[in-house]
A and B are shown apart, each in its own frame.
Chain A
Amino acid sequence: MLFVTLPVQSVSFDNIISEKEISTAKLKYGVLAVRRIQALQTLISENASKPERLQVNLVNDFFSKVTYMEDEAAWGQKDFWATPAEFLAKDKGDAEDFAIAKYFTLLAMGVDEKKIYFSYVTATRIKRSHMVLTYFRNPNSEPLVLDSLTDRVLKASVRSDLIPIYSFNAQDLRDSSQVSSKQGFESSMHQWGQMRARMKQGILK
């Protein structure tokens, strides 16, 4: 119980899952959903000062317990980017949802956002477009791939089954939207924007 009450006041926790989201999750998805969220909060608070390499493995392991499922089946929508709270509450999600949840968790643990990229890749084995999260220890080092298709964190060179196509960094997305003088740009633009807006407003679908 100590972990439930205290960490809520921490800034990094607020960024991922707010009290409002938790109470909505309890109503919509039940006590188990709240437990999963509390587990995530415990993970973050307990490992905030651990080495990054360990954090990456812990986070990957934590989310590998969530079931992979296409948006259509999980959310009844063809393409839906879930917030970490929605992802955990539903306990289901596709590649983007995994990547997003891992990304925000790593950030909450203190990893510099410049080191983490979202990457569009082609998965040759399943012959389809796919999204993974890549972690760069430094700008020139070989990245680690956090992939929902496997439980293991592997070096990029080992993942010959993935062809990297294009990457983006959350910072780039923010640059384009926040400088704009007009409101509502981010939220209306794309899936990323809508997801961020829900996070900020504490909306849980």
Chain B
Amino acid sequence: MSFKSNILIFISLMLVVLLVGTFGLNMSTTQAFLEKQLQSHSYDTANSLGLSLSAVADNPSSAQTMIDAVFDRGHFARIELLDIDGQPVYQRSNDAISSDIPHWFIELVDINIAPSSAVVQRGWMPIGKLKVQAHKGYAYIELWLVFKSLVQWFLIAAAIFLTSAYIAVRLLLRPLKRAQKQAHAIANKEYILQDPLPKTTEFRQLVNAMNGMVTKLQQVFTREAQVAEKLRSMAYQDSVTGLYNRHYFDMTFSSIVDEDQTTAQGTVYLLRINGLKEFNTHYGYQLGNELVKHLARIFRTTLSTTDGVYVRLNGIELIALLPNTKPSSIQKNADQLLLATKTLREELNLEEMPIELTAAIARYTPNESKSKMFSQLDFLIQQAGEVYNDSVQVQREDAQRAFNNDQWQQLIDTAIVERRFKLFKQDAFNLEKATYESELLVRMIGDDGKIQSAAYFMPAVEQLRMESKIDQLVLRLVTEHLQSEQSSTVYSINLSKSLLLSSNAFDQLVPHLEQARGAKLAFEFPESAVYNNLAACKNIFNVLRQFGFKVGIDRFGIQVADLQYLKTLQPDYIKLDASFSDQIESDASTNSYVESICEVASNLDIDVFAMSIEQEAQLEAFKSSGVRYFQGYYFSTPIPL
């Protein structure tokens, strides 16, 4: 039984005792008063009637009339005239009690009125005795009225009292309920503080203790997230410019140009700062660093595109990978960037500017080789240095490969109609090497019958803003597949970031999700898209969860420095960026960064997947860092669904 009901029962008992006591006392006082009243009524009547009868003692009929008159006009049970030997002479009686009074009440309440007697005399001689007894009925009527009003009053009082007691107990116990909520929230990795503090001393102490614990836990979580951030910036950031470092570039390059990624093709931009060494000798390292820092900022803002990666390759070279852009569209920004030296000279207050900027722009394609790309860029930048008045060298367009937008549109539309989009799956495994889930990949069968990866058509799809169409298509394909074949593994599906940018796009997807309701599906977005649209993502995650689907974040850990947002979103899983796999077994800082990600994730009950595992050594390294789920060619290749 709850504390609350115990208290209420106790209060009710006290109340009943109090009320019954008051009730009984009230009733017996009233009864005593009425009895006394009637007793004195009998006594007075006996006296006055006895006196009157003595006056007409010679006339028996007059005596009877007097008795009748007194009896009829008053409340009497009995008036009796006895002669001197005690024999009745005349008698009137009425024992009836009003029918309004219930029988049980008369049984219960015993009213006792004794008869009063008086002498009747003629001259000096007593000639008889008069006995008068007042009627109980009057007392019963009065007592019954008192009883009824007392019961009424007590019921009302009891109702009011119990209701207020109930409310008061509830109010008093509210902090306990809140503390319970706090504890539940901690289980869900939410940290709620109770404010204001309750006024009751005991509860105040309890709430203070709870608040203290919550604060501590929150601090622990925040510290872990901060450690992860610090490790990451130490490992992958250039300390002067805040751009990524060479290490990071080497690590991520292959995953950026991976044919299954939407970033697999685009433009690469290389900026060389000529004469920095002279500048440093001339003005000192501090000013040199300042210059590079400013340049990096301008570099970044001028070339800003979504998914762009900006890196300081070495002392004098900055490089940007700009996915899904064409060299021609960048050229204008590039030219503008070269003018930065002039602005910087003003800003840093320098008499002269020994710095010369040169740049190279080239295209990169899916599965591009890094060394090939660098030799290309080296060649171009050398050219730019030689041809003094054209500091930006652009790779010539490969006319043969490029379709224009109309051609792409037609190509994709036909492929949809002809059902040439197919789903592939690649399994992910747990520590016991059992299939844990399968990631679905979409492929297109080209006109020539060749199977093309997403990297082939996704840039065009994005250009044409057809992403949501592909999302719907994938969902339809998987629903059709699940109707024909039951599966026990969870299929995870990559959703396009366009869903996060426009709620309309997601609304259109909802009917398709409705159709798939109950299926074992998981949906994921890339981290960069999630982080830039946290609110939209939270909403979409909530809707997906309502349909019974899992939600996750893909390509995790590279683009975003802040891990705290995981607490807001609470995804079911995260998939580490593929680039970690290249470094994990050799690079200690990557290793400790992954470790701290796993720590934060396990605090929030989030599964961590390692991707693109190709060797046993990578697997072991991930295992020792705390990763529990794995995917990659080491286990299985993508196969048709």
Contact in complex: B124, A180 (CB < 8 Å) = no
Q: Which residues of B contact A179 (CB under 8 A)?
A: 112, 114-115
Q: Is B123 an interface residue (CB 8 A)?
A: yes
Contact in complex: B126, A175 (CB < 8 Å) = no
Contact in complex: B114, A180 (CB < 8 Å) = yes
Contact in complex: B42, A164 (CB < 8 Å) = no
**A34-61 interface bits toward B, Cβ cutoff 8 Å, 1 = contact, 0 = none:** 0000000000000000000000000000
Contact in complex: A119, B124 (CB < 8 Å) = yes
Partner of B36, one of A145, A168, A175, A185: A185
A201 to chain B, nearest CB (A): 21
Contact in complex: A139, B84 (CB < 8 Å) = yes
Contact in complex: A181, B112 (CB < 8 Å) = yes
Contact in complex: B124, A175 (CB < 8 Å) = no
Q: Which residues of A contact B116 (CB under 8 A)?
A: 172, 175-176
Given known A-B contacts A134-B124, A164-B123, A182-B35, A176 and B43 have beta carbons under 8 A apart: yes
Contact in complex: B125, A181 (CB < 8 Å) = no
Contact in complex: A172, B40 (CB < 8 Å) = no
Most chain-A Cβ atoms within 10 A of its Cβ — which of B50, B51, B118? B118
Q: Report how far A38 CA is from B551 CA in the complex, Å.
A: 117
Q: Is A143 an interface residue (CB 8 A)?
A: yes
**A133-164 interface bits toward B, Cβ cutoff 8 Å, 1 = contact, 0 = none:** 01010011011010000000000100000001
A205 to chain B, nearest CB (A): 25
**Closest chain A residue to B113 by CB distance?**
A180
**Closest chain B residue to A190 by CB distance?**
B43
Q: Which residues of B contact A136 (CB under 8 A)?
A: 126
Given known A-B contacts A166-B51, A181-B35, A172 and B117 have beta carbons under 8 A apart: yes
B residues 32-50 near A (Cβ < 8 Å) are 32, 35-36, 39-40, 42-43, 46, 50
A203 to chain B, nearest CB (A): 23
Could you tell me the dominant secondary structure of chain A's interface residues? mixed
Contact in complex: B35, A117 (CB < 8 Å) = no
Q: Report how far A142 CA is from B126 CA in the complex, Å.
A: 10
A114 to chain B, nearest CB (A): 10
Q: Is B361 an interface residue (CB 8 A)?
A: no
Q: Which residues of A contact B114 (CB under 8 A)?
A: 175-176, 178-180
Contact in complex: B121, A176 (CB < 8 Å) = no
Contact in complex: A189, B40 (CB < 8 Å) = yes
Q: Which residues of B contact A139 (CB under 8 A)?
A: 84-85, 126
B220 to chain A, nearest CB (A): 78
Q: Is B460 an interface residue (CB 8 A)?
A: no
Q: Report how far A125 CA is from B129 CA in the complex, Å.
A: 30
CB-based A-B contact count at 8 angstroms: 70
Q: Which residues of B contact A164 (CB under 8 A)?
A: 121, 123-124
Q: Report how far A183 CA is from B641 CA in the complex, Å.
A: 104
Given known A-B contacts A176-B43, A181-B35, A166 and B125 have beta carbons under 8 A apart: no
B131 to chain A, nearest CB (A): 9
Could you tell me the dominant secondary structure of chain B's interface residues? mixed
Q: Report how far A83 CA is from B532 CA in the complex, Å.
A: 111
Contact in complex: A185, B39 (CB < 8 Å) = yes
Contact in complex: B112, A180 (CB < 8 Å) = yes
Q: Which residues of B contact A180 (CB under 8 A)?
A: 35, 39, 112-114
Q: Is A167 an interface residue (CB 8 A)?
A: yes
Q: Is A169 an interface residue (CB 8 A)?
A: yes
A56 to chain B, nearest CB (A): 16
Contact in complex: B121, A167 (CB < 8 Å) = yes
**Closest chain B residue to A166 by CB distance?**
B51
Q: Which residues of B contact A167 (CB under 8 A)?
A: 119, 121, 126
**Closest chain A residue to B129 by CB distance?**
A172
**Closest chain B residue to A184 by CB distance?**
B36
B residues 109-159 near A (Cβ < 8 Å) are 112-119, 121, 123-126, 129
Q: Interface residue tally of chain B, by bracket? A: 20 to 34
A residues 170-200 near B (Cβ < 8 Å) are 172, 175-176, 178-182, 185, 189
Contact in complex: A142, B124 (CB < 8 Å) = yes
Partner of B117, one of A119, A166, A175, A182: A175
B residues 15-63 near A (Cβ < 8 Å) are 32, 35-36, 39-40, 42-43, 46, 50-51, 54
Contact in complex: B124, A156 (CB < 8 Å) = yes
A residues 74-101 near B (Cβ < 8 Å) are none
Contact in complex: A166, B39 (CB < 8 Å) = no
Q: Which residues of A contact B124 (CB under 8 A)?
A: 119, 134, 142-143, 145, 156, 164
Given known A-B contacts A119-B124, A139-B84, A172 and B36 have beta carbons under 8 A apart: no
Q: Which residues of B contact A181 (CB under 8 A)?
A: 35, 112
Contact in complex: B126, A166 (CB < 8 Å) = no
**Closest chain B residue to A188 by CB distance?**
B36
Q: Which residues of B contact A119 (CB under 8 A)?
A: 124
A177 to chain B, nearest CB (A): 8
Contact in complex: A168, B119 (CB < 8 Å) = yes
A5 to chain B, nearest CB (A): 40
Contact in complex: A176, B117 (CB < 8 Å) = yes
Q: Report how far A167 CA is from B124 CA in the complex, Å.
A: 8
Q: Report how far A178 CA is from B39 CA in the complex, Å.
A: 11
Q: Report how far A167 CA is from B128 CA in the complex, Å.
A: 11
Given known A-B contacts A181-B112, A182-B36, A172 and B42 have beta carbons under 8 A apart: no
Contact in complex: A182, B32 (CB < 8 Å) = yes
Q: Report how far A185 CA is from B35 CA in the complex, Å.
A: 10
Q: Report how far A172 CA is from B551 CA in the complex, Å.
A: 103
Q: Report how far A40 CA is from B605 CA in the complex, Å.
A: 111
A122 to chain B, nearest CB (A): 13
Q: Which residues of A contact B54 (CB under 8 A)?
A: 165-166
Contact in complex: B43, A189 (CB < 8 Å) = yes
Contact in complex: A166, B121 (CB < 8 Å) = yes
A residues 94-136 near B (Cβ < 8 Å) are 117, 119, 134, 136
Contact in complex: A172, B118 (CB < 8 Å) = yes
**Closest chain A residue to B122 by CB distance?**
A164
Q: Report how far A176 CA is from B116 CA in the complex, Å.
A: 5
B79 to chain A, nearest CB (A): 14
**Closest chain A residue to B35 by CB distance?**
A182
Q: Report how far A181 CA is from B32 CA in the complex, Å.
A: 9
**Closest chain B residue to A119 by CB distance?**
B124
**Closest chain B residue to A176 by CB distance?**
B116
Q: Which residues of A contact B84 (CB under 8 A)?
A: 139-140
B613 to chain A, nearest CB (A): 102
Contact in complex: A168, B118 (CB < 8 Å) = yes
B residues 64-122 near A (Cβ < 8 Å) are 84-85, 112-119, 121
**Closest chain B residue to A181 by CB distance?**
B112
Q: Report how far A164 CA is from B123 CA in the complex, Å.
A: 6
Q: Report how far A165 CA is from B53 CA in the complex, Å.
A: 11
Q: Report how far A167 CA is from B54 CA in the complex, Å.
A: 10
Contact in complex: B119, A169 (CB < 8 Å) = yes
Q: Report how far A141 CA is from B40 CA in the complex, Å.
A: 33
Partner of A176, one of B36, B46, B123: B46
Known contacts A136-B126, A179-B112; 12 further A-B pairs (Cβ under 8 A): A117-B119, A140-B125, A142-B125, A145-B124, A165-B51, A166-B121, A167-B119, A167-B121, A172-B116, A172-B119, A180-B39, A181-B35
Between A and B, 27 residue pairs with Cβ closer than 8 Å are A117-B126, A134-B124, A136-B126, A139-B85, A140-B84, A140-B125, A164-B123, A164-B124, A166-B50, A166-B54, A167-B119, A167-B121, A175-B117, A176-B43, A176-B46, A176-B115, A176-B116, A176-B117, A178-B114, A179-B115, A180-B39, A180-B112, A180-B114, A181-B35, A181-B112, A182-B32, A185-B39
What 7 pairs across the A-B complex have the smallest Cβ distances? A179-B114, A156-B124, A176-B116, A181-B112, A172-B117, A167-B119, A164-B124
